[in-house]
């Protein structure tokens, strides 16, 4: 703990430090950075094996499915705010599962592994990126069928892609809105049935897609032989 304190001391200020939200965010960021350094030191020379990464992916997938199942139960009981929040947590766990799967394939930088395991936004970023790739692929294929070529500018400004990215970016704030009373306005924000239903429906779609990929990898004999 003393080591952690020395690491955090440079960002701490004595006067009214905890009263400012941005200072708390800096503290959390520094804590994650410290944990990442410890993680890297612990695994130096002995990185996670492909098999362990695949197991982590499967466990995270299972947790994502559980979150979604619980979200449906709460939705049926008209607890829309908390059902939405659990569905977003499910998407985050799905991002974690997807990242572990990509790491198992050797497609990510393991020096960043700890951050993607701990940060909510990072997990959703994984899902947003993978979903964006799929959307861009669909846009490109549709254009090719019509004999058209999509430029990078046209792709970035495509309304479908922009709407999808905006949807992913709003999820963290929407989850916070659903779970907590805002300490500035001192009010809780109501979540409508339609909002919760949209998140749950999309979560189910993404979970099914990820499950097919991860489970197929787990069933391959060559994937199970890694130690």
Indicate if 55 and 66 belong to the same structural domain: yes
Does a structural domain hold residue 101? yes
- Determine contact, residues 65/222, Cβ cutoff 8 Å: no
Indicate if 152 and 207 belong to the same structural domain: yes
**Model confidence pTM above 0.85:** no
**How buried is 87 (Cβ within 10 angstroms: 0-12 exposed, 13-18 middle, 19+ buried)?**
buried
Indicate if 74 and 166 belong to the same structural domain: yes
23-33: pLDDT as tens digits: 555 666 666 66
**How buried is 227 (Cβ within 10 angstroms: 0-12 exposed, 13-18 middle, 19+ buried)?**
exposed
Indicate if 147 and 189 belong to the same structural domain: yes
Indicate if 3 and 114 belong to the same structural domain: no
In the numeric block, the tokens 């499910």 are attached to: 90
Indicate if 34 and 86 belong to the same structural domain: no
10-46: pLDDT as tens digits: 544 455 444 555 555 566 666 666 666 666 566 555 5
The mean per-residue pLDDT over the stretch 177-185 comes to 72
Does a structural domain hold residue 185? yes
**pLDDT band for position 109 (50/70/90)?**
confident
Does a structural domain hold residue 14? no
Indicate if 57 and 85 belong to the same structural domain: yes
Does a structural domain hold residue 55? yes
List phi, psi (to 5°) of 139: -60, -45
Indicate if 39 and 69 belong to the same structural domain: no
Indicate if 169 and 59 belong to the same structural domain: yes
Indicate if 68 and 143 belong to the same structural domain: yes
Indicate if 36 and 116 belong to the same structural domain: no
Number of domains in the chain: 2
Does a structural domain hold residue 193? yes
Indicate if 91 and 195 belong to the same structural domain: yes
60-108: pLDDT as tens digits: 999 999 999 999 999 999 999 999 999 999 999 999 999 999 988 888 8
In the numeric block, the tokens 């098999």 are attached to: 51
Q: Could you tell me the residue range of the domain that residue 179 belongs to?
A: 47-224
Does a structural domain hold residue 13? no
């Amino acid at each position: 703990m003393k080591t952690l304190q020395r690491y955090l001391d440079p960002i701490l200020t004595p006067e009214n430090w905890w009263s400012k939200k941005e200072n708390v965010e800096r503290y959390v960021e520094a804590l994650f950075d410290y944990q990442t350094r410890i993680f890297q030191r612990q695994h130096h020379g002995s990185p996670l094996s492909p098999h362990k990464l695949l197991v982590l992916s499967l466990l995270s997938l299972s947790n994502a499915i559980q979150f979604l199942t619980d979200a449906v139960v709460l939705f049926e009981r008209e607890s829309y705010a908390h059902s939405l929040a659990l569905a977003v947590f499910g998407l985050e766990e799905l991002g974690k599962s997807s990242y572990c799967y990509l790491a198992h394939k050797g497609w990510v930088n393991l020096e960043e592994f700890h951050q993607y395991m701990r940060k909510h936004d990072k997990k959703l970023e994984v899902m947003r990126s993978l979903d964006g790739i799929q959307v861009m692929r669909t846009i490109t294929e549709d254009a090719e069928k019509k004999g058209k070529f999509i430029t990078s500018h046209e792709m970035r400004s495509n309304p479908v892609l922009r709407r999808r990215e905006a949807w992913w970016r709003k999820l963290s704030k929407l989850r916070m809105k659903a779970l907590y009373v805002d300490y500035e306005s001192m009010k809780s924000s109501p979540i409508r049935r339609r909002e919760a239903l949209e998140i749950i429906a999309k979560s189910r779609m993404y979970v099914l897609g990820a499950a097919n990929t991860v489970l197929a990898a787990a069933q391959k004999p060559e994937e199970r032989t890694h130690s």
